[in-house]
Amino acid sequence: MQTNAASTPAGQAGVYDLRRPDLAEARAALKRLYDDEEPLWTRLLADAGLRGTETDNDSLRRLLAAMCDADPVTALCARGLTIRLATYEHLTTAHDLIRGAE
């Protein structure tokens, strides 16, 4: 079974049972950090030019960039999600290469 990071829908298990982070996960992370994340979430979506329902990597990257430009705590949260996204993509690529060589 080959799994491509770009084609694995957000929220679905991919390689090594890891899930690609998505906008919903970013919002859940903000909810854990702030009592009322709604104003921040609304501003981040506007800054990124998103509606909040997107599921593609580009939209997630735009949101993460907006989060990096926000306050330091939100920027740190974005950094963690960025690391998770990069790890997911690298592991998926390695998995595909290994499967392709078999």
Two tokens at 53? Answer: 């329902």
Find the domain containing 53 and state its range. Answer: 22-101
Measure the CA–CA gap between 1 and 92, rounded to whole angstroms.
11
Measure the CA–CA gap between 35 and 15, rounded to whole angstroms.
34
Distances in Å between the Cα of 96 and the Cα atoms of 14, 22, 40, 56 are 11, 21, 37, 20
pLDDT at 14: 62
Residue 14 lies in a domain: no
Residue 77 lies in a domain: yes
How many domains are contained in the chain?
Answer: 1
| Predicted confidence (pLDDT) per residue in 42-98, tens digit | 999 999 999 999 999 999 999 999 999 999 999 999 999 999 999 999 998 888 888
pTM (2 decimals)?
0.80
Q: 11 with 24: CB under 8 angstroms?
A: yes
Whole-number percent of the chain with pLDDT over 90: 71
Residue 65 lies in a domain: yes
pLDDT tier, 100 (very low <50, low <70, confident <90, very high otherwise): confident
